[in-house]
Structure 1
Amino acid sequence: MHSSSPADAPVVREPLHAPVAHLVRGGVVEGIHYGSVVVLGADGHVQLQLGDIEAAFYPRSAVKPLQAVAMLRAGLPLDGELLALAAASHSGEERHLAGTRRILELAGLTEDRLRNVPDMPYGAAVRDAWIREGRTASRLAQNCSGKHAAMLWTARLRGWSLADYLDPAHPLQQAIRETVEDLTGQRVARVTVDGCGAPLFSISLHGLARALARIASAAPGTHEARVADAMREHAEMVSGAGRDVAALMDAVPGLLTKDGFEGVQVAALPDGRAVAVKIADGANRARIPVAAAALARAGVDPELLTEFAGEPLLGGGEPVGCVRVARALDPVPLAACV
């Protein structure tokens, strides 16, 4: 069932972040990552919160599962790996490029209709290979190309204009906004432009967790369940080989998760438990350790999460410290700190 009346938009303010992780080198706290974390129980109630989970923020690419649900609601006939690609921040591997071409082909369109920004592949190994081969940036290689191809096909199916499909006033983007508000249970606070050129809607961290919980726990056959199933079953289409998003979904049975630039991670389980993380300084090194600790607080077996406790800090090539999650979130650390 869709919510009939989303709550008011979150307040736009300077977020009241709290310490969520410490850089510990040789037993001394060398740096502190601030951020916010929310853990929801299966009943949707907040089980733990750190920082400011109600302030307006931009979820960046963590909103892609919601955008994919919106496109299915609008009639997009995708499933499986191509639906996973529509919700992806992909690495630019050949399978990702081939999948995006396939979506465009199904829509009767070509790559030149894409309006995302040209870029090199996001995956480090793939990008390095492109550079060695003398290949240049392209819209197809940019990590959001699957989403943009799906947006174009959705617009074409509905008879909407294609050239301006990224305009926030376009019927496609209005439909996506409506779904974001429905799934989060709150109105959008602000609209801006994401790095790829698509409209980006400001919600709260709490709202993002609620939304992914609804998607992960949806009844079989619903649009939400189709997105969740596709992402879980094709985790490397959502991200890429060696990426932490795919590794997390492989490690934790039933887990649905998505990352976003500037230190965002959201994850949810089939029973509705969910976590969402925002690292204030956007640091990748804190994002996954904090998310793993939040999942442990949500009841995920810590043994499944040990590989996500963070990379050691090195001194002279040897481990001399770690990123240690704040005690308020992780009273029993997933991994020991040197």
Structure 2
Amino acid sequence: MSDHAQTPSANAPDATPDATPVSPALADAPVVAHVVRAGFVESVHHGTVVVTAPDGSVELEVGDASGPVFPRSSSKPLQALAMLRSGLQTDDLHLALACSSHSGEDFHVAAAREILAGAGLTETDLQNTPDYPYDEAARIAWIANGLPKQSIVQNCSGKHASMLATCVTNGWDLATYRDPAHPLQVAVADTVRELSGAEPGAVAVDGCGAPIHAIPLSALALAFGRLAAATDGPEARISAAIRAYPEYLGGTHRDVTTLIRGVDGLVAKDGAEAVYAVGLPDGRGVAVKVADGSSRARPVVLAAVLRRIGVDAEDTLAALEHQPVLGHGQPVGSVVAVGI
């Protein structure tokens, strides 16, 4: 989910560290999960949780959800929405891949190549960070075949292929599509602003090389509630694609795929540094940020929030909560949500 560092380039936002204050979502975050080994609390995770109503009011808040965070790959459905609004022509399967942090399985790679071919492009046009497949089996097979890291199997290739296809549709420059001043990225910023109701704050280089905008966690939740409740227009198309093809959004073994399959009408997107965003069909939005960026606590905390607000999907939530702590290769504890 855009996890890997990207060397700044001439068309990338300034990545020089600055002295801006730490977001309250991080600095003041309460404990939201315990890591328990044989009944002993070995570690804790701090985090922030928010549930928003359709009108944007806050129904549930743990920590301070007003502070800006980088949504990381949880932004991808909003980025894909900007592409649709800019004229991207695609079907729902490939639109789901545009929203994805895919696992690099064969069907993901094939679909990314189809997006490129449909726009008259090749893998050499991709500018996302080369990597190995995210899925363990796919990664082992890729390396065993002696293949190097490549952009096409990196988890953001569907988004980047779709960004390029959008540029082709509009006659926009391909070489600079990651530049924040490029018409595509301006459209993305405008869409984030409109759907979240928040002015994007800091702009940084995401792991894949594209710009990423900081917004309050509550604004991220609101945006997803709006996506999930949409009944027409490009917003509804984004939600329909995610619901119809969750395996293209994530992968065969991903918790986000399990979540979408298991809860009717839900849309969701996970993100690097332990972000999770969910929209419910009644217009409520949910967002989670684990302050230390640990992904092991992210699905556990989200499951606790969904239980708290009455989402009825026991098997699915139990699967999200299954984060065992191992000793000598055997379960000896678990990650447990607290304070939700």
* Same fold, TM-score > 0.5, yes or no: yes
2:151 is paired with a residue of what secondary structure? coil
CA contact (8 A) 1:12 1:55 kept: no
Instruction: Give, in angstroms, the shift of residue 223 of structure 1.
Output: 0.4
Equivalent position of 1:190 in the other structure: 202
Q: Alpha-carbon deviations, 1:204-263, whole Å to 9, x = none?
A: 11111011111111123x101101100110000011111111011111111111000000
Instruction: Give, in angstroms, the shift of residue 132 of structure 1.
Output: 1.4
Equivalent position of 1:96 in the other structure: 108
Instruction: Give, in angstroms, the shift of residue 302 of structure 1.
Output: 5.2
Q: Within the alignment, does 1:50 sit opposite 2:62 as a pair?
A: yes
Cα distance in 2 for residues equivalent to 1:317 and 1:147: 37
Residue pairs, 1:59-78, within 5 angstroms = 59-78=71-90
Equivalent position of 2:284 in the other structure: 273
Q: Within the alignment, does 1:214 sit opposite 2:226 as a pair?
A: yes
Instruction: Give, in angstroms, the shift of residue 316 of structure 1.
Output: 3.4
Cα distance in 2 for residues equivalent to 1:35 and 1:54: 13
Residue pairs, 1:1-338, within 5 angstroms = 13-15=22-24, 16-220=28-232, 222-301=233-312, 303-304=314-315, 305-326=317-338, 328-329=339-340
Cα distance in 1 for residues equivalent to 2:98 and 2:262: 23
Q: Alpha-carbon deviations, 1:269-289, whole Å to 9, x = none?
A: 111122100011111110000
Cα distance in 2 for residues equivalent to 1:113 and 1:316: 46
Aligned length: 317
Cα distance in 2 for residues equivalent to 1:102 and 1:312: 38
Cα distance in 2 for residues equivalent to 1:85 and 1:126: 17
Q: Alpha-carbon deviations, 1:94-122, whole Å to 9, x = none?
A: 11111111111111111111111111111
Q: Which amino acid aligns with 1:250?
A: R
Give the unaligned 5+ runs of structure 1: 1-10, 330-338
Task: Tell me the percent identity.
Answer: 51
Q: Alpha-carbon deviations, 1:96-154, whole Å to 9, x = none?
A: 11111111111111111111111111111110111112111111011101100110111
1:90 is paired with a residue of what secondary structure? coil
Give the unaligned 5+ runs of structure 2: 1-19
Cα distance in 2 for residues equivalent to 1:166 and 1:145: 13
CA contact (8 A) 1:12 1:189 kept: no
Cα distance in 2 for residues equivalent to 1:253 and 1:302: 9
Deviates more, 1:17-26 or 1:62-71: 17-26
CA contact (8 A) 2:52 2:60 kept: yes
Instruction: Give, in angstroms, the shift of residue 42 of structure 1.
Output: 4.6
Residues 317/161 of structure 1: CA separation in 2 closer, same or farther (3 Å cut): closer
Cα distance in 2 for residues equivalent to 1:119 and 1:26: 37
Cα distance in 2 for residues equivalent to 1:199 and 1:311: 32
CA contact (8 A) 1:41 1:298 kept: no
CA contact (8 A) 1:89 1:144 kept: yes
CA RMSD of aligned residues (A): 1.4
Equivalent position of 1:7 in the other structure: none
1:176 is paired with a residue of what secondary structure? helix
Equivalent position of 2:7 in the other structure: none
